[in-house]
Copies of this chain bind each other. A is one copy, B any other.
């Protein structure tokens, strides 16, 4: 598959490297594709990796991954061009974190809205699936925990898009993600990210991930 990553931060790099390792072609979309940081990632990631503008990465993508920082999502989508993402699967990994009160952050929206729903509104013709927002980036690809694998939860309005993303999750080491319904369930998944983050502050460690024990 051709993967367009929108955002060159730690999440974008972690997911982009995972896709490249699995043999997908990955274009990292970023404000400045010629920056040292981005060129370093491309050369380190190998022949499956390239970099471009947000619009180039969006046009390149069969599946796009939103991995922008909290304030950059709307402008990245504008730069990417919603028409370049029409009909495509867009994986939304973002959380609407507000750090203005100092750490730990809070959610800036919730209960009646979510980042996932906003992204779907900004990209009305795309098929948005929330995923990979409930764990720190070092554990997104091939998570390795005693008692694992952990579980991923996803949501979105389009069933076939969720099947595509479930397949991605499985190849990334998150088998059989749990489908929580329409994109409005992002309200709960973004709150679940806060449980992850507050656990980070409670334990001073980011080496954790959720598993759903079942019988």
Q: Which residues of A contact B (CB under 8 A)?
A: 104, 107, 109-112, 144-148, 150, 153, 178-181, 185, 187-189, 191-192, 194-195, 198-199, 201-203, 205, 207-215
> Which single residue of chain B is at the shortest CB-CB distance from A195?
B188
Closest 6 CB pairs of A and B: A191-B191, A110-B111, A111-B111, A145-B213, A180-B198, A188-B194
Cβ-neighbour of A147 out of B107, B187, B213 (below 8 A):
B213
Cβ-neighbour of A215 out of B145, B181, B214 (below 8 A):
B145
Question: Which of A188, A189, A205, A209 has the most chain B CB atoms closer than 10 A to its own CB?
Answer: A188
Cβ B210 vs Cβ A214 within 8 A:
no
A1, B201: Cα distance in complex, Å? 32
Cβ B208 vs Cβ A210 within 8 A:
no
Shortest beta-carbon distance, A28 to chain B, in Å?
29
Cβ A215 vs Cβ B110 within 8 A:
no
Shortest beta-carbon distance, A191 to chain B, in Å?
3
Knowing A179-B202, A187-B191, A192-B195, say if A145 contacts B111 (CB, 8 Å): no
Shortest beta-carbon distance, A70 to chain B, in Å?
16
A205, B110: Cα distance in complex, Å? 27
**7 CB-based A-B contacts, threshold 8 Å:** A145-B213, A147-B147, A147-B213, A148-B213, A153-B195, A178-B199, A185-B194
Cβ-neighbour of A203 out of B150, B178, B192 (below 8 A):
B178
Cβ B209 vs Cβ A210 within 8 A:
no
Shortest beta-carbon distance, A171 to chain B, in Å?
20
Contacts A148-B213, A178-B203, A191-B191 known; 9 new A-B pairs at CB < 8 A: A107-B111, A111-B111, A111-B112, A146-B213, A147-B213, A188-B198, A210-B212, A210-B213, A211-B211
Shortest beta-carbon distance, A163 to chain B, in Å?
14
